[in-house]
Amino acid sequence: RMVRLRDRLSRSGSIGRGVLGLLSRDVVDEDTWDEIEETLLLADLGPGPTDELMENLRRRMQVLGGSDPSAVREVLREELVALVDPAMDRRLAATSQIAEDGTVVPSAILMVGVNGTGKTTTVGKLARVLVAEGRTVVLGAADTFRAAAADQLATWGSRVGVRTVRSDKDGADPAAVAFDAVKEGIAEGVDVVIIDTAGRLQNKKGLMDELGKVRRVTEKALHGVGVHEVLLVLDATTGQNGMQQARVFSEAVNVTGLVLTKLDGTAKGGIVVNVQRELGVPVKMVGLGEGMDDLAPFDAHGFVDALLG
């Protein structure tokens, strides 16, 4: 059945026709059920969660003994919200803290993800959010692999008015840059240090070694205080690939939260539902554009409405 559906999907190209439109019809028939399933798959919810959701939906509708479209819509919304799990703690409280030796150190946030997903942009936008909340921030340009990455981050730094720590030379040790950024953060007495990292998936071993080292060295610079957050950036437009990326990164470093970027386009980003479940960590923020104010806290109900609409 799924095979047939997926085959239809690849031909139909019906992206953008929401479930709510389908359910404004008078009757819910077999075709409608198929189309609901199709829409969920097009929203990148993934075959597993889609199957599960459709089963629950059909079962609950059977119990209710009817197939009134508005009832189906409500139950569908409820099931989706439950999948997204609104009870997860999505706060990002980042303030300075005291190490065991008495040193006041910032909270450190590591931004990880495949290149192109929007990591550097998200670091800039997050700094903006924190500054607007009255916190002080230093950025660390530990993506030393791409020559332009540090420039791009420094540009964000000046846009939002925070200092960027970077290396003078290309190809410097990312962990050394992270170390320097934390040192600078301690010297300035800031609340948060956000560290941008490189994300080359081609070399999985290299990536794991690099991120592991960045993390260890960051914690050393923090006088033994653990990294506060490791945020994995996922691009909504890459669909099911996000799952594979999430697996690789969670193996490399202990991911504590997700950021879903590029939700301003046609992509619905349903993949994060599965990633949340598999990794057991919440989506904390969403990227809604390329501008500095285009980062928003993740809202489960809003996400579900957009997914269905």
Q: Which residues are annotated as a binding site for GTP?
A: 113-120, 196-200, 261-264
Phi, psi of 178, rounded to the nearest 5 degrees: -60, -40
Question: Distance of CA 106 to CAs 20, 129, 169, 275, Å?
Answer: 46, 16, 26, 29
Give the C-alpha separation, 40 to 308, whole Å.
8
Shortest Å distance, C-beta 107 to ligand GDP? 21
Least spacing, CB of residue 290 vs ligand GDP, in Å = 4
Nearer to ligand GDP by Cβ, of 120 and 144: the residue is 120
CB closer to ligand GDP out of 70 and 266: 266
In the bound state, the residue with its beta carbon closest to ligand GDP is 287
CB of 233 to ligand GDP, least distance (A): 6
How many whole angstroms separate alpha carbon 100 and alpha carbon 223? 8
State the binding site. 113-120, 196-200, 261-264
Instruction: In whole angstroms, give the CA distance from residue 255 to residue 205.
Output: 17
Nearer to ligand GDP, 49 or 118 (CB): 118
Which residues lie near ligand GDP (CB under 6 A)?
113, 115-121, 261-262, 264, 287-290, 294
Q: Which is nearer to ligand GDP, 69 or 289 (CB)?
A: 289
Output 61 or 255, the one with its CB closest to ligand GDP.
255
The CB-of-195 to ligand GDP minimum distance in angstroms stands at: 12
Closer residue to ligand GDP in complex, CB, 116/309: 116
CA 122 to centroid of chain Cα atoms:
10
Gap between the Cα atoms of 262 and 268, Å rounded: 9
Q: What's at 128, amino acid-wise? A: R
Strand partners for 95: none
What CA–CA distance (Å, rounded) separates 89 from 258?
A: 12
Radius of gyration of the chain (CA): 21
8-state DSSP, 145: S
CB of 97 to ligand GDP, least distance (A): 27
Query: Whole-number minimum distance, CB 60 to ligand GDP, in Å?
Result: 35
Q: How does DSSP classify residue 31? A: H
5, 295 Cβ separation under 8 angstroms: no
